[in-house]
Structures are given as C-alpha cells and as structure tokens.
C-alpha cells in the first residue's frame, strides 16, 4: 500500500526555522505595515494545492502513483490468467508433477508481490523527499513575508481558534511562490519514478 506523505506542517515548520537562522537582516523593497502584526497565519495545505509549483508536484505524484497501480493490476491479471491455465492442466497431470508446478507459481507470486511492495515504499519515500524540497523552497518566502509585516511568528491556520482574516497571508504567499517559480528561483521537484530511482 502506497503511503501518501501528507505532513506539510512538519516539513514547513522545520524549513522556516532553518531559513530564519540562515537569513541575515534583509532590506526589503516593500515597506512594513504601519501597525506590525504580532503573528500571522497560513493554510499550509493550500500552499501545496493552490500554487503552480505545488500543483505541478501533485500532478507528478498522481502520475507516478497511477503508473505503479496500473503495473500492479497488469501483474495481477497475468497471474490470474496463469492460475486458470494451471487449473486446466491439472486434470491431465499427476499430483506430484502438479504440486511442483504449483509451488513454483506460488513462489513467483510471492516474489512479485514483494517487489511491488518494495517499489511502493521507494515511491512513497521519493514523494516525501520531493515535498520536503518544495516546503524548503517556500520557507524563505515565509520569512520574507513575516519580515515585511513585522510579525514575530507564523502559525498554521488549524492551530488558530479565532483571528482577523487580514492576518491570513495564504494568498500572498501563493502569489509570491508563483512569481518566484516563474523566475525559476524555486527548483522544480525531481520527476517521480515508480522504482524510487532517478530517471
């Protein structure tokens, strides 16, 4: 079973901490607001689903996942056809001969399933690495927006009980991501492969 790595909060929080530590006191061309907000909040999932770079990443994930599932279905169909053929042959074979063939067939099925599990796990790990790369590329943008507003922290929207929606910077961050992605400053994710290896 392919595990989908939906943990944006973990990736993004760690990436922002690193970006903050690595960023000197930058001078931004855009003026700070007159009344700096103590904190801002953001919908982390929308950063992935609504930005052009995030949508490209999700499209890559879906394509790789569907390819692996299609290959698994083809393997299952081939084994089902072979099983039917062996059942037809059983009438004309003695028990010992058939048992040997059946054991060989069972071993092939087990090996194929283990290989599919290995490829599924490798793909899940690759997709997780690509998401980490995406959120790492977003972290400097969050730091920049936080500095621009003079805020001290950015919280996930899910952790905020009640707040003025003017503090929600999700749309602003998505716009920044799309602008920087157009300028090729955000590296594209590595193409996902069903065997976990780079093409």
**Model confidence over 45-102: pLDDT tens digits?**
999 999 999 999 999 999 999 999 999 999 999 999 999 999 888 888 888 888 999 9
pLDDT of residue 13: 52
Residues 175-184: b if buried by 16+ CB within 10 A, e if exposed: ebbbebbeee
- Residue 168's SS3 state is strand
Flag whether pLDDT at 2 surpasses 50. no
pTM for the structure as a whole: 0.69
Question: Strands, E, within 36-101: which ranges?
Answer: 39-42
Average of pLDDT values for 119-146?
94
Average of pLDDT values for 14-27?
42
Residues 79-116: b if buried by 16+ CB within 10 A, e if exposed: eeeeeeeeeeeeeeeeeeebeeebeeeeeeeeeeeeeb
31 close to 163: Cβ distance less than 8 angstroms? no
Instruction: Label residue 112 by pLDDT band (50, 70, 90).
Output: very high
pLDDT of residue 117: 96
Give 30's Cβ-side CA count (13 Å radius). 8
Q: What is the residue whose two structure tokens read 């004309």?
A: 92
Average of pLDDT values for 168-172?
94
52 close to 177: Cβ distance less than 8 angstroms? yes
Q: Tell me what the pLDDT averaged over the chain comes to.
A: 80
Average of pLDDT values for 104-113?
95
C-alpha–C-alpha distance, residues 179 and 51, integer Å: 10
Flag whether pLDDT at 196 surpasses 70. no
- Residue 4's SS3 state is coil
Flag whether pLDDT at 34 surpasses 70. no
Flag whether pLDDT at 35 surpasses 70. no
192 close to 62: Cβ distance less than 8 angstroms? no
Question: Strands, E, within the chain: which ranges?
Answer: 39-42, 153-156
pLDDT of residue 182: 63
Average of pLDDT values for 20-37?
44
Flag whether pLDDT at 159 surpasses 50. yes
C-alpha–C-alpha distance, residues 68 and 150, integer Å: 46
174 close to 52: Cβ distance less than 8 angstroms? no
């Amino acid at each position: 079973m392919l595990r989908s790595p939906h943990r944006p909060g973990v990736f993004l929080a760690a990436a922002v901490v690193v970006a903050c530590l690595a960023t000197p006191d930058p001078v931004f061309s855009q003026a700070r607001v007159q009344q700096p907000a103590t904190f801002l909040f953001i919908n982390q999932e929308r950063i992935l689903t609504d930005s052009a770079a995030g949508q490209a990443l999700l499209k890559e994930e879906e394509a790789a996942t569907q390819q692996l599932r299609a290959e698994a279905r083809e393997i299952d169909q081939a084994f089902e056809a072979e099983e039917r053929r062996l059942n037809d042959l059983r009438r004309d074979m003695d028990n010992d001969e058939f048992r040997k063939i059946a054991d060989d067939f069972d071993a092939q099925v087990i090996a194929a399933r283990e290989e599919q599990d290995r490829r599924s796990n490798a793909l899940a790990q690759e997709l997780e690495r690509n998401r980490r790369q995406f959120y790492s590329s977003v972290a400097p943008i969050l730091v920049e927006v936080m500095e621009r507003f003079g805020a001290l922290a950015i919280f996930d929207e899910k952790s905020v009980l009640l707040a003025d929606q003017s503090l929600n910077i999700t749309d602003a961050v998505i716009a920044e991501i799309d602008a920087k992605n157009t300028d090729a400053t955000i590296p594209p994710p590595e193409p996902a492969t069903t065997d976990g290896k780079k093409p």
